[in-house]
Amino acid sequence: MKNKYLFPLILFLLAVVLPYIVPEFWVHVLTEILIMGLFAASFNMIFGYMGQLTFGHAAYYGVGAYTTGLLMVKANVPLLVCLPLSMFSAGLCAAVLGYFCVKLRGIYFAILTMAFGQLVYYIIFQWYSFTGGDNGLQGIVPPAFLGRAANPYYFFTLIVVALGMIALWIISESPFGYTMRAIRDNAERTEFIGINVQRYMHLNFIIAAMFAGLAGALWGPFNRSVAPDLCSWQHSGMPVFMTVMGGPFHFLGPLIGSAIYTMLMAFVTSFTEYWPMVSGIVIIVVVLVMPGGLLGLLGDRLPFLRKNERSAKETNG
Amino acid sequence: MDDTGNIVLQIDRLKKSFGKYKVLTDVSYSLPKGEIAAIIGPNGAGKSTFFNLITGYHLVDGGTIRFMGREITNWPRHRIARTGISRAFQVSNIYPRLTTFENVRQAILSQQRRTLNIFTPAHRLARKNTLELLELTGLLPYRDTLAGILSQGDKKKLELALALAGKPELLLLDEPTAGMSSEETHETMELVKRLNREIGLSILFTEHDISVIFGYARKLSVLYQGMVIAEGTPEEVRKNEEAQKCYLGEEV
């Protein structure tokens, strides 16, 4: 077996075994890690692979969450049907909003994505008759075959997230994925080899939003409810933290970052109300000590973690 | 006989200003198919701007650009590249975080219109073509090296490889040997000459190295203060008084 599959396999086996070992509270935490990990991985398609920072990615996560919530609560649509529909609605939303965002680069891209994210947030927040406004939607119950215990929904989430991550991996290793790396490295040169950069960025934006929508769709039945906060810019910051912590230049970086961040929050909030300060300190330390994230740091030391993609510090470009 | 079918690049009355500064005032130029020609002139004469206008990097203020009889004035860059004009830049313009192999493969996949493929791993595609082009440009020993840490000369070779990957009809080379050793300069220009001879590739380059200009170009145009002041074979330009006064000097 190739070395590059060893680390994901270890992680997967760990994810299968852990729920039988840890208390139920931590199974909930693990579920959240998986959902947020997929969300962060989808964000990294734009950040790590395309080289643009989006601060509005939660909008598509929220659209996915509300699509599933509304369909399940108001129309009794089965969860398995809701998942692809959530991907579709998030993708459709990204197709419209992303069209304008990809015309910009850098800080302007970040600001416009954040502005559109807030627009989605306020629409959901204000539209009481349809979305429940600031009350959100309650009573999003997982299907009966998944039961009421934490474990079955965890394993359902694990399967969906694993499939989502595999799909993202295939895309990231495809010619399209390498075109994203090319755009990140040198968008100007990419145009001169005959690629319509704006169009490709738009497509990638839509793909990333679809997987954010899928992650969002898993959240409602897990939490039994959805709220407008899922679309807020603060929520858009979470995949940023997670990706920076885990390592944006490694495919599994965002998932590892999700594990660190979510576990840290679960741990810290249990003994102090000043948890935002703790998370702030952790982020500062990570950025200062490990600019390539945890996997970036470990990748230099552990051969099986060494990535195809080298971090920026290894080149003078 | 009408020879428009034999002209690969036809430029009429091209104008470009940046604010009050007129870079190109009224440039007309034509390049026959299969020609190897150079645009020369002092720094600031407008050579790079001339290339920038042809390849869509800047928008044209006035005049027209025709490629193979088709007007391409102010087309988007990617569309111009797709029609068959490739360009190598004066300052190497590569993908520093990709390997040399991945750089060239990316350009080949684009030429093969396979970049929208999201299902097949990229490493399975265009392998043979990539290795061939790396060998042709002398970059095969550095295939797994990150492009960002290549030497300046090798970066320029990679520039050339990226341009050739597009299988162009017209190759624009902006100071292709800048930063190269004399040996690398010779190798690169011999390759350019071979491509011109063997596949009939039309080549237009800018250069400051007089030995390269007179050693390889069959047609020379002297650009000075945004205008073509002299044009012809190297011998004709060498004898042109205005060209001598403005750029070449009398010793050439």
Question: DSSP of A71-94, one letter per residue?
Answer: HHHHH---HHHHHHHHHHHHHHHH
When CB atoms are compared, the residue of B110, B111, B146 closest to A310 is B146
Which A residues in the span 167-206 are in contact with B, Cβ-Cβ below 8 Å? Answer: 170-171, 173-179, 181-182, 184-186, 188-197, 200, 203
> Domain ends where: B112, B138, B167?
B167
- Average pLDDT for chain A: 92
Chain A / chain B CB contacts < 8 angstroms:
120
List Cβ<8 Å contacts ≥24 apart for A258-261.
Answer: A258/A33, A258/A34, A258/A36, A258/A37, A258/A39, A258/A40, A259/A33, A259/A37, A260/A294, A261/A36
Judged by DSSP in three states, A134 sits in helix
CB proximity B95 to A under 8 Å: yes
Check whether A302 has a pLDDT greater than 80.
Answer: no
> β-pairing, B85-88 with B70-71?
unpaired
- Residue in A with minimal Cα distance to B164: A193
Test B96 with A192 for CB contact under 8 angstroms. Answer: no
∠ CA A189-A166-A283, rounded to 5°: 70
Residues 6+ apart with CB under 8 A from B208: B40, B175, B178
Write the single-letter amino acid at B16: K
Cα distances (angstroms) measured from residue A226 to each of A128, A138, A279: 13, 7, 24
ipTM of this complex = 0.91
Q: Dihedral sign for Cα B181, B182, B184, B185, please.
A: positive
pLDDT band for position A315 (cuts 50, 70, 90): very low
Question: How many angstroms away from the CA of B235 is the closest CA of chain A?
Answer: 34
When CB atoms are compared, the residue of A171, A200, A314 closest to B146 is A314
Test B122 with A173 for CB contact under 8 angstroms. Answer: yes
> Domain ends where: B167, B195, B217?
B167
CA gap B71, B67 in Å, rounded: 6
pLDDT band for position A36 (cuts 50, 70, 90): very high
Test A179 with B115 for CB contact under 8 angstroms. Answer: yes
What are φ and ψ of residue B221, in 5° steps?
-130, 130
In chain B, how many domains are there? 2
Check whether A306 has a pLDDT greater than 60.
Answer: no
Q: What is the model's pLDDT at position B2?
A: 45
Q: In terms of Cα–Cα distance, which of B153, B205, B159, B217 is closest to B182? A: B153
Tally Cβ neighbours within 10 Å of residue B5: 9
Q: What is the model's pLDDT at position A309?
A: 46
Q: In terms of Cα–Cα distance, which of A252, A257, A255 is closest to A290? A: A257
pLDDT digits (tens, 9 = 90+) for A158-167: 999 999 999 9
Q: What is the model's pLDDT at position A292?
A: 84
CATH number at residue B64: 3.40.50.300
> β-pairing, B85-88 with B227-232?
unpaired
CB proximity B102 to A under 8 Å: yes
What is the b/e burial string over A281-314, where b = at least 16 CB atoms within 10 angstroms of the residue's CB? ebeeebeeebebbbbbbbbeeeeebbbebbbbeb
pLDDT digits (tens, 9 = 90+) for A80-91: 999 999 999 999
Contacts of A4 in chain B (CB under 8 A): none
pLDDT digits (tens, 9 = 90+) for A169-204: 999 999 999 999 999 999 999 999 999 999 999 999
pLDDT band for position A304 (cuts 50, 70, 90): low
- Residue in A with minimal Cα distance to B149: A315
CB proximity B115 to A under 8 Å: yes
CA gap A102, B57 in Å, rounded: 19
Check whether A312 has a pLDDT greater than 60.
Answer: no
CA gyration radius, chain B: 18
Q: Which domain holds residue B128?
A: 91-167
pLDDT digits (tens, 9 = 90+) for B1-31: 445 669 999 999 999 999 999 999 999 999 9
Question: How many angstroms away from the CA of B157 is the closest CA of chain A?
Answer: 15
Contacts of A197 in chain B (CB under 8 A): 78
CA gap B117, A55 in Å, rounded: 28
Residue B19 in tokens? 């604010």
Residue B99 per-residue DSSP state: B
- Average pLDDT for chain B: 92
Contacts of A186 in chain B (CB under 8 A): 93-96
CA gap A235, A40 in Å, rounded: 11
In chain A, how many domains are there? 1
What are φ and ψ of residue B23, in 5° steps?
-90, -50
B62, B32 contact by CB (below 8 A): no
Test A193 with B97 for CB contact under 8 angstroms. Answer: no
Task: Render B114-147 in DSSP notation, one character per residue.
Answer: -TT--SS-GGGSSHHHHHHHHHHTT-GGGTTSBG
- Residue in A with minimal Cα distance to B126: A175
Contacts of B162 in chain A (CB under 8 A): 189, 193
When CB atoms are compared, the residue of A173, A196, A312 closest to B121 is A173
Test B97 with A194 for CB contact under 8 angstroms. Answer: no
CA gap A98, B109 in Å, rounded: 25
Test A173 with B110 for CB contact under 8 angstroms. Answer: no
Contacts of A173 in chain B (CB under 8 A): 121-123
Q: What is the model's pLDDT at position A271?
A: 79
Note whether B73 and B124 are same-domain residues.
no
Residue A206 in tokens? 């839509």
Percent of the residues in chain A that have a pLDDT greater than 70, as a whole number: 94
CA gap A69, A79 in Å, rounded: 9
A66, A60 contact by CB (below 8 A): no
pLDDT band for position A310 (cuts 50, 70, 90): very low
Test A189 with B93 for CB contact under 8 angstroms. Answer: yes
Tracing tokens 């080298």 back to the chain, one arrives at: A310
CA gap B79, B57 in Å, rounded: 12
Contacts of A193 in chain B (CB under 8 A): 81, 106-107, 110-111, 162, 165-166
Strand partners of residue A290: none
Exposed (0-12), middle (13-18) or buried (19+): which is A274, by Cβ within 10 Å?
A: exposed
Residue B38 in tokens? 């150079």
In what order do the strands lie in the sheet containing B85-88?
B85-88, B170-174, B202-206, B36-40, B219-224, B227-232
Test B115 with A195 for CB contact under 8 angstroms. Answer: yes
CATH number at residue A138: 1.10.3470
CB proximity B249 to A under 8 Å: no
CB proximity B81 to A under 8 Å: yes
> Domain ends where: B167, B195, B213?
B167
CA gap B55, A191 in Å, rounded: 10
Choose, out of A172, A174, A206, the residue to mutate when testing the contact with B (most B CBs < 10 Å): A174
∠ CA A17-A20-A24, rounded to 5°: 125
Note whether B216 and B96 are same-domain residues.
no
Q: In terms of Cα–Cα distance, which of A29, A31, A12, A7 is closest to A247? A: A7
Q: Which domain holds residue A150?
A: 3-314
Contacts of B110 in chain A (CB under 8 A): 179, 193-195
Cα distances (angstroms) measured from residue B38 to each of A46, A58, B97, B216: 42, 54, 32, 9
CA gyration radius, chain A: 19
CA gap B248, B252 in Å, rounded: 6
Choose, out of B48, B53, B57, B78, the residue to mutate when testing the contact with A (most A CBs < 10 Å): B78
pLDDT digits (tens, 9 = 90+) for A98-133: 999 999 999 999 999 999 999 999 999 999 999 999
